[in-house]
Structure 1
Amino acid sequence: MYRHFLVPVGDIGSCIEATGHAVAFAQSMGARVSFLPILYQHAAALHRQDSRASDVRERALELLARAEAAARAQGVPYSSIAPSNETSFDSIVAAAVKSGCDLICITPGQRLAEAGDVVFAASDGADAGNVAVLICAADRRPATSHAIGILLDEHRAIADTLHALLDMARAARAAGQEPEAISMREAVKRIRDLQIRRHRLKEEARFFPRLRERTSVADAELDELECQHQRDIQLLQELTELVERDAEPGVPAGRLEQALSAYAQFTWEYLGREEGVVLPAARRYLRNEDWNEIAAAFDATAADSTTAKP
């Protein structure tokens, strides 16, 4: 029986599904996991000691925060490994051996570097030295893939905007200046609009209610996420007010940056719980007709949002 899984978490979509599978499997077996961030699309930047490398490491911390939140929600013991510029399968095996793992969990067709590189060879139960490799099954249903892809695109848009906000705040601090108020207001408004759109997508498709109708296994997590949604509204309002006050005399230096970092951490954990607990349950319990209706509702809501733009 396997007791310690190594789970690569990466900046490609297939890793999210594999992480959810791996955490659920670890819970069922009473195993623990170690998360290894693999920055497939940005690994070269980690060679450099510049601002770009710092941004990439920040992305790695985001990936870890999301995976760790999923593990905590499932009650799975976890640890995390520092990001590396190595993306080869051998480097993953080496990390597994060093961490004392006996199983590596990946997803079919998972690439280990930039698009176009060779996919490493492995199959269900394949052996990598003394460490077994489990390829987690991928859900190939078109409506399911389409609907979840839309949700994950929303998650990426929110993450990109948050990183841009943090970059603005840190660059201003490094230059001994205050962040440009207009740009900060616009970025915070975009985050708020993106969060509203993401929540509206799920509401219009009755995503959470459908899952509750099919199973009760995710009820506690759905309740928690609905509470966190209310907290998100409150935090965004506080962030908006802080952006307005930041340029005023007497506001402590760095207060806005600290608030942004705290909100980013809250968001990473929120998204991680949805990706690592709710989406795997939805894949398992929602029926094909549910996914067909959800995908159609997502498309209709997205089209309506596009039409509504000035």
Structure 2
Amino acid sequence: MFKSILLPTDGSDLCEKATATAVEFAKLHQARITAISVIQPLLMPSLGDSGAMISIDQYEADMKAAAHDHINKVAAAASAAGIPFEGMVTASPNPYEEIVAAAEKYGCDLIMMASHGRTGLSKLLMGSETQSVLSHTKLPVLVLR
């Protein structure tokens, strides 16, 4: 039924559990996995005359390295299971846009993603990437907890 799965990952424990589930699901359905890790730009509030200086170049390098590490973990799991795999790292202030675009670009017929279950003020302020994906795609989305 599902032959091409898009798996967003941020390297969290919940995403690692989702990876294991996606690999088993892909094996069962003889599907391929396309993984995506989206780097969000550093948003810095005005610190006035005091505050720590952060190197934006170092931040970007660290985030790219971490994102590639997340993708490599999914690649290793897919490889061990004999599942076709493709991975990508992108950057956007709105990860859901990259996730939806990647699903279309790579012809995915299912998006499997972890839900981080934000609640309260953090959900109000930061929103939910999962909810945004659900709102902006016509594809089935399997949310894993």
Shorter-chain TM range is: 0.7 to 0.9
The aligned counterpart of 2:41 is 44
CA 1:135/1:64 → structure 2, altered by over 3 Å: closer, same or farther? Answer: same
Structure 2: give runs of 5+ residues left out of the alignment: 44-54
TM-score relative to the length of structure 1 = 0.37
For the residues of structure 2 that align with 1:20 and 1:110, how far apart are their CA atoms?
19
121, 128, 132: which one pairs with 2:131? 121
Give the C-alpha shift of residue 100 in structure 1.
Answer: 1.1
Q: In structure 2, how many angstroms separate the alpha carbons of the residues matched to 1:51 and 1:23?
A: 33
Q: Bigger radius of gyration, 1 or 2?
A: 1
CA 1:32–1:86: 2 relative to 1, 3 Å: farther
Secondary structure at 1:34's aligned position in 2?
strand
8 A contact 2:38–2:98 mirrored in 1? no
Aligned to 2:86: 79
Q: Distance in 1 between matches of 2:83 and 2:57?
A: 36
Distance in 2 (alpha carbons) for counterparts of 1:108 and 1:89:
13
How many equivalent residue pairs? Answer: 127
Aligned mates of 1:23, 1:110 — CA distance in 2: 22
> Gaps spanning 5+ residues in structure 1: where?
139-310
Aligned to 1:92: 99
Instruction: Say if 1:37 and 1:64, in contact at 8 Å, map to a contact too.
Output: yes
Larger strand proportion of the pair: 2
Q: CA deviation at 1:127?
A: 7.7
C-alpha displacement at 1:110, in angstroms?
A: 5.4
Structure 1 pair 110–60 and aligned structure 2 pair: CA distance change class (3 A): farther
Instruction: Select the structure that is richer in helix.
Output: 1
Report deviation, 1:90.
3.2
**Distance (whole Å) between structure 2 residues aligned to residue 52 and residue 127 of structure 1:** 30
Classify 1:110/1:61 alpha carbon distance in 2 versus 1 (closer, same or farther; 3 Å).
farther
Per the alignment, in what secondary structure is the counterpart of residue 35 of structure 2? strand
Which residue does the alignment assign to 1:108?
Answer: 115
* Residue deviations 1:117-155 (CA, integer Å, cap 9, x gap): 112438xxx68533211113x3xxxxxxxxxxxxxxxxx
| Change in 2 beyond 3 A, CA 1:52/1:66 | same
The change in CA–CA distance for 1:88 and 1:54 in structure 2 (over 3 A counts) is: closer
Q: Aligned residue for 2:73?
A: 66
Decide whether aligned partners of structure 1 residues 102 and 94 sit closer, same or farther in structure 2, where only a CA change above 3 A counts. same
2:47 maps to none
RMSD over aligned Cα atoms: 2.5
Q: Percent identity?
A: 28
Match of 2:34, SS?
strand
Normalising by structure 2, what TM-score?
A: 0.74
